[in-house]
Amino acid sequence: MASYTLSVNGKTHQVDVDPNTPILWVLRDHLRLVGTKYGCGIAQCGACTIHVDGVAMRSCSLPVSQAADRAITTIEGLSEQGTHPVQEAWREHDVPQCGYCQAGQIMSAAALLKDIPNPSDEDIDAMMSGNICRCGTYTRIKAAIKTAAAKS
Amino acid sequence: MTKINTSYNRRSFLKSMAVTGGGMVLGFSWLSGCRPEETKVATGPALPDNWYDVNAYLKIGENGTVTIMTPNPEFGQNIKTSMPMIVAEELDVEWEQVISEQAPHNAEKFGFQFTGGSRGISSRWEGLRMAGATARQMLREAAAQTWSVPVAEVTTAAGMLYHEASERSAGYGEMAELAATLPVPEEVDLKDIKDFSIIGHSKKNVDAKKIVTGQPLFALDHYEEGMHVAMIVHPPAFGQRYVSIKNLDEVKSMTGIHDVFPIKTYKDGFAKGGFDTNAFPELVAIVGKTTWEVMQAKRAIEVEWEPFADYTETVMGFRGDTSTRKVPAGLESTAAHQTAMEEAAARPGEVVREDGDPKGAFARASRVIERTYSAPFLAHNCMEPINCFAKVENGKVWIAGPLQAPGLIEGTIAARMDLTPEDIDIEMTRMGGGFGRRAYSHYMLEAALIAQQAGVPVKLMYTREDDMTNGIYRPTYQATYRAALGENNELLAFHVKAGGIPESPLFANRFPAGAIDNYLAEEWSLDSNITIGAFRAPRSNFMAGAEQSFLDELAEAMGKDPIDFRLELLQRAENDPVGENNDYDAARYAGVLELVRDKAGWRQPAPGVHRGVSAYFCHNSYAAHVLDLTVENDRPVVQKVTCAIDCGIVVNPDAAVNMAEGGIVDGIGNAFFGELTFTDGVPDKRNFDQYRMIRMEEAPKAIDVHFVESDVNPTGLGEPPFPPIFGAVANALYKATGERKYRQPFLGSGNLPG
């Protein structure tokens, strides 16, 4: 066990956990921020995507020891009122089916648009192919990203 | 208007005793009461001070806000939006006045609360319309009494009551208290389809805001004081069972571990229900404080397993009838399965249907075309892994989790824990995918048993590896088709012989049965200890791919256009059907083919584009696809799928399009990559690094969905677009490569070639 100071969505938290604990489980079990999802535990499905210092990362494979003192953003902190352009575009296109993967999809998409404000189809494919949607909403996700890009 | 007698499902309209003072009975959710910090973003209509229960499906606040219950669980098909739309339509309110709520499990009020088999909307259509219409009638009656006018003169519009002659009006909220005390009318008027203003008009997903802001919606998101995390360890191989924990003390002493013990899911001799499928009825449970700590214990634990001997189990049917199921011993492998299937296919099968004289027709054929198609086991791989929250206190069990049918597990839990169904409270949480997997909810019983033995509330979670290796797969199937062609290339006879492990996929009375004079359908099956279950139209999702591939091969051999050939057969089935039990409507079947032909511009494909067509009927609906594929860097790229569906009246069009798009993407993914193989009983794939799922870059560039305009009651949509896409993929790949694929997955399960 070790003590870590975490900065999550602009708030500082103190946790006492095994240094190897993935930040995903610190967020979910200790900080009760459950918007970030567990899907595979091996960085293959993207459901657990968060931003660390503005970069999309798979929280299931990032030990807490490497996340301390870095700015972590989760789906709950992506915007104050749920009005990030990506979130709004998701609603405009009514993207979700079951909804389980969508927080991870949105976090990946938001990171993509931060780096590439007007992504091509290839840019979108390259970034978003790390996120699995079992319901198959990919065409809507792509359309929503383009809408968000046009608006932001 | 249509008069309808409300005696149908009248029990659903039983009014609660306490109609005044909130009447929260119907909306009560014990779980949501203990969720952390609910929505920070206010959405939806204003909440009233008092609710009045008009019937089990709806309550109306004094301010006119209406809460409508969705009786069936939500797994992404969007019924939590579309079911209240149906009620709201007949109630005659504005959609903006409506709050949608997931109903609690209550068979007395809501009947069989089942999501699956594409039956959600179709099974609820009449009942939901009546729930709205009876409430509207009771509100009119209340207004008539209040105003002392004849009820026939009271009209409604957009949540308001009017009496034109006396120029009086009132909101529904003003009349709700009185309406809730009135008797349920014997007969009510339903709207004419042409007057629908909500049904047929797209409404956004009612939970979209919560989803995109990461609010807790899933059982896996639930936390409460004193709750522990539980995980299971199941045998690594099918055909094995639990013996002992080798290092119990060591694991129990690990940091954060509360308890470790074996559980036995069923009592000896328990007669299983049809959905109590479970390959691993004895498991090891690990209970601890946090997920990561339990995962460490799970890694450290050493369990002794042993092969089990052949056994038979008793399975109870829905009518109380019982049958026995043979579970063979052994550690099964895919290679051996394939050999056994080839041998079984070579033996005479069980004849399920025979029209005319197929034997004679084949004997006099000028040419016989024979092809065999096969597909592997598939895992559901719902994105939300199997999980369930359970609390056992004072002889009561509270369960909250993702499941498709609480009515199918409640009795099983009661039998195992010596309780009555009244002692068990099941909350249906939003499912992170279902696809058939969550109709088999043994994990709910596991969670309850673990909570009981550990003496603490638990949230049971399967890891992805547990989820993928636990069984209840889409079976492996094989089908051989034969066609007899005459001297002039005419189709003389058709023969299908299909089987699988452990069930046959055959539907003997489906197309092209009914369209061919000499027709023979045979089936076979082989026992296995690998468990299987529903999977987005199981059987159909294999048969469609095989049959629609064969029809294309046949059309080519006969020198006909694939759509023209299918339409000719359908015309025969419509005008002069062969046999009596054909289970499809040939005109509706032809309708989707014609629509997709026209919408896709079938005869004018773009240059460089390879097209495949496919159509299928299942779950009472019809779907046809034209799939356009190009090859780039030796890699197939699906440019576009044009889709035509006849599922009767479409309640929520944009959500229906979304569902069809999902079915198409899911089908392409499984056709390209889907595969679970076994070596000595052990699933060869355990996680998404090995089990290939379709990803963004492999999804079609465009999907164009069209619905046949219809005034037929809704027939089902979750499954129907899925099976035929396998055939469209196969037929387009053949056009692109000149080589026919007979074994799924068509691209292998690894990365794309090239």
Contacts of A15 in chain B (CB under 8 A): none
Counted domains in chain B: 3
User: What residue type is B492 in one-letter code?
Assistant: L
Among the listed residues B565, B658, B641, the one whose alpha carbon sits nearest the alpha carbon of residue B599: B641
**B300 and B411 housed in the same domain:** yes
**B532 and B613 housed in the same domain:** yes
Among the listed residues B170, B176, B296, B275, the one whose alpha carbon sits nearest the alpha carbon of residue B233: B296
**B438 and B515 housed in the same domain:** no
**B237 and B304 housed in the same domain:** yes
pLDDT at A152: 78
Of B190, B212, B234, the residue that ends a domain is: B212
Among the listed residues B252, B246, B352, B396, the one whose alpha carbon sits nearest the alpha carbon of residue B583: B352
Q: Which residue has the tokens 């460490």?
A: B296
**A105 and A129 housed in the same domain:** yes
Of A28, A40, A90, the CB nearest to B464: A40
Among the listed residues B136, B199, B208, the one whose alpha carbon sits nearest the alpha carbon of residue B172: B136
**pLDDT confidence of B320, banded at 50, 70, 90?**
confident
In a domain, B6, yes or no: yes
The burial class, CB within 10 Å (0-12 / 13-18 / 19+), for B299 is exposed
In a domain, B573, yes or no: yes
User: What residue type is B704 in one-letter code?
Assistant: D
**A30 and A47 housed in the same domain:** yes
Give the CATH number of the domain where residue B716 resides.
3.30.365.10
B693·A87 Cβ contact <8 A:
no
**B395 and B527 housed in the same domain:** no
Q: List, for residues B531-581, the tens digit of each pLDDT value.
A: 999 999 999 999 999 999 999 999 999 999 999 999 999 999 999 999 989
Q: CA-CA-CA-CA torsion for B207, B213, B217, B223, nearest 10 degrees?
A: -160
Q: CA-CA-CA-CA torsion for A74, A76, A77, A83, nearest 10 degrees?
A: 120
Give the CATH number of the domain where residue A47 resides.
3.10.20.30
Domain residues for B619? 476-737
- DSSP characters over B184-212: PPSEEEE--GGG-SSTTS----TTHHHHH
Of A54, A77, A100, the residue that ends a domain is: A77
Among the listed residues B234, B222, B208, the one whose alpha carbon sits nearest the alpha carbon of residue B291: B222
- Residue A94's φ and ψ, nearest 5 degrees, are 45, 55
In chain B, which among 75-94 make CB contacts under 8 A with chain A?
Answer: 75-78
Of A27, A52, A77, the residue that ends a domain is: A77
pLDDT at B141: 98
Of B215, B663, B688, the CB nearest to A45: B688
Which of A97, A105, A132 best tests the B interface by mutation, with the highest count of B CBs <10 A? A97
A82·B213 Cβ contact <8 A:
yes
Q: CA-CA-CA-CA torsion for B505, B78, B410, B266, nearest 10 degrees?
A: 50
Q: List, for residues B194-205, the tens digit of each pLDDT value.
A: 999 999 999 999
Q: Buried b / exposed e across B176-211, counting CB within 10 Å, b at 16+?
A: bebbbebebbeebebbeeeebebbbebbbbbbbbbb
CB of A140 within 8 Å of a chain B CB? The answer is yes
**A47 and A90 housed in the same domain:** no
**A6 and A66 housed in the same domain:** yes
Distances (CA, A) of B715 to B9, B620, B633, B653: 19, 5, 42, 14
**B145 and B264 housed in the same domain:** no
Q: List, for residues B379-438, the tens digit of each pLDDT value.
A: 999 999 999 999 999 999 999 999 999 999 999 999 999 999 999 999 999 999 999 999
- Are B655 and B633 contacting, i.e. CB atoms less than 8 angstroms apart? no
Contacts of A8 in chain B (CB under 8 A): none
pLDDT over 70 (residue B10): no
**A105 and A131 housed in the same domain:** yes
Residues of chain A with pLDDT under 50: none
Token representation of residue B307: 């092969």
Residue A4 CA to residue A18 CA, distance in Å, equals 10
In a domain, B745, yes or no: no
pLDDT over 80 (residue B722): yes
Mean pLDDT for B35-47 is 55
Reduced to 3 states, what is the DSSP secondary structure of residue B38? Answer: coil
- Are B686 and B381 contacting, i.e. CB atoms less than 8 angstroms apart? no
Q: List, for residues B292-302, the tens digit of each pLDDT value.
A: 999 999 999 99
**A92 and A65 housed in the same domain:** no
- Are A114 and B682 contacting, i.e. CB atoms less than 8 angstroms apart? no
- Residue B42's φ and ψ, nearest 5 degrees, are -70, 130
- ipTM of predicted assembly, 2 dp: 0.99
Share the mean pLDDT of chain B: 93
Q: List, for residues B160-193, the tens digit of each pLDDT value.
A: 999 999 999 999 999 999 999 999 998 899 999 9
Contacts of B751 in chain A (CB under 8 A): none
pLDDT over 80 (residue B37): no
Q: Which residue has the tokens 């229960």?
A: B53
**A116 and A64 housed in the same domain:** no
**A108 and A62 housed in the same domain:** no
CA distance B647 to chain A (A): 19
In a domain, B747, yes or no: no
Give the CATH number of the domain where residue A116 resides.
1.10.150.120
Reduced to 3 states, what is the DSSP secondary structure of residue B470? Answer: coil
CA closest to A35 among chain B residues: B214
**A16 and A47 housed in the same domain:** yes
Of B217, B435, B464, the CB nearest to A39: B464
Among the listed residues B99, B91, B110, B57, the one whose alpha carbon sits nearest the alpha carbon of residue B175: B91
**B494 and B456 housed in the same domain:** no
**B66 and B114 housed in the same domain:** yes
Residue B722 CA to residue B379 CA, distance in Å, equals 16
Distances (CA, A) of B547 to B475, B624, B674: 17, 13, 19
**B551 and B426 housed in the same domain:** no
Counted domains in chain A: 2
User: What residue type is B232 in one-letter code?
Assistant: I
**pLDDT confidence of B2, banded at 50, 70, 90?**
low
Mean pLDDT for B77-96 is 97
**A67 and A109 housed in the same domain:** no
In chain B, which among 13-42 make CB contacts under 8 A with chain A?
Answer: 36, 40-41
Of A46, A77, A108, the residue that ends a domain is: A77
Domain residues for A140? 85-151
Q: Which residue has the tokens 């069923």?
A: B266
CA distance A30 to chain B (A): 8
A75·B76 Cβ contact <8 A:
no
**B446 and B481 housed in the same domain:** no
**B429 and B507 housed in the same domain:** no
Q: List, for residues B423-456, the tens digit of each pLDDT value.
A: 999 999 999 999 999 999 999 999 999 999 999 9
Task: Give, as one character, the DSSP assignment of residue A26.
Answer: I
